[in-house]
Amino acid sequence: MVRTTAQRQNDTLTLLQAEEDLWIATANGNGTVHLIPLSFSWTGTKLVLATPERSRTVRNLRIADSVRVAIGPTRDVVIVEGRVEISAQDADAQLADFHAQIVGFDAREMDEPWVFISVIPERIQAWRNPAELADREIYGDGSWLR
Amino acid sequence: MVRTTAQRQNDTLTLLQAEEDLWIATANGNGTVHLIPLSFSWTGTKLVLATPERSRTVRNLRIADSVRVAIGPTRDVVIVEGRVEISAQDADAQLADFHAQIVGFDAREMDEPWVFISVIPERIQAWRNPAELADREIYGDGSWLR
């Protein structure tokens, strides 16, 4: 079955609300790649993650802010590429409260400094099978494709 | 529950046999990252993937052979870092036959040239929850840790 773009957009929004974790890939400037699962919250306009400031993910993002995240199982894939904003754990109380409520832990209550990583989507792709690869792009240039 | 190293190794070998897909992260030399799901076969010593020669994954690996793959769901994680070997689709008939049997399609029968990517593990980590992060390394320097 090949879903329409509208169906994929609906399914993607459902997935963004329902899923608890995502895979985040980052790289340093030398081609060395990192890949790790992190919990996330979806605010309706961006994906929010929290992780230690000294983590490889944050160090990579400070060098090269390219990020690619994957949500869902390998046969119901949502891929998000976007702009990254890193903010201190106490910079935005509303964001921190919202995130804590969704993920079930408070990033401000850790032993070491944590930061929030916001991923603002620039491109979203969604596919479940090879037949869906052709029209996988469902969001681009800041808006849902029609 | 925190599994012993031996339990994680057993679980990892089971997962490598049972799982059909993995997430593979690669990067070019400029810090731009790629992340995609691919089917794989596990030969007992390496992970074998097949993908088009002109794919971003292959182009990245020819620039920087750093690779990190993740197998399993985000709460039963196996991460493999390893050495990469890329071989032409008709270079090793035995490998190609084995791979086709496991993944259910033959990479030699595609319209465009495909290649095999072998990932020979150098480091494997396995964890299911934050409590398991401390002892996540279960394979290193070419052998299973004790």
pLDDT tens across B56-107, in order? 999 999 998 889 999 999 999 999 999 999 999 999 999 999 999 999 999 9
Whether residue A140 is predicted with pLDDT greater than 90 in this model: the reply is yes
Query: Which one, of B63, B76, B41, lies nearest residue A37 by Cα?
Result: B76
d(CA B68, CA A59): 17
* pLDDT digits 0-9 by tens, A74-84: 999 999 999 99
* pLDDT digits 0-9 by tens, A1-11: 899 999 999 99
pLDDT at residue number A29: 85
Query: For tokens 């052998």, what's the residue?
Result: B143
Asked if B69 has any chain A CB less than 8 Å from its own CB, the reply is: yes
Q: Which residues pair with B81 in a beta bridge?
A: B68, B123
CB pairs < 8 Å spanning A and B: 88
Residue numbers in B near A28 (CB within 8 A): 31
Query: Which one, of B96, B72, B60, B62, lies nearest residue B23 by Cα?
Result: B72
CB contact under 8 A, A37 and B74: yes
Give the chain A residue nearest B63 (alpha carbons).
A31
Give the chain B residue nearest A21 (alpha carbons).
B74
Q: In this complex, which of B31, B37, B63 lies closest to A63 when CB atoms are compared?
A: B31
Mean of pLDDT values over A37-64? 96
Specify the pTM: 0.96
CB contact under 8 A, B36 and A79: yes
Mean residue pLDDT across chain B:
96
Q: How confident is the model at residue A65 (pLDDT cuts 50, 70, 90)?
A: confident
Whether residue B19 is predicted with pLDDT greater than 90 in this model: the reply is yes
Query: Which one, of B131, B141, B135, B130, lies nearest residue B7 by Cα?
Result: B135
ipTM of model: 0.95
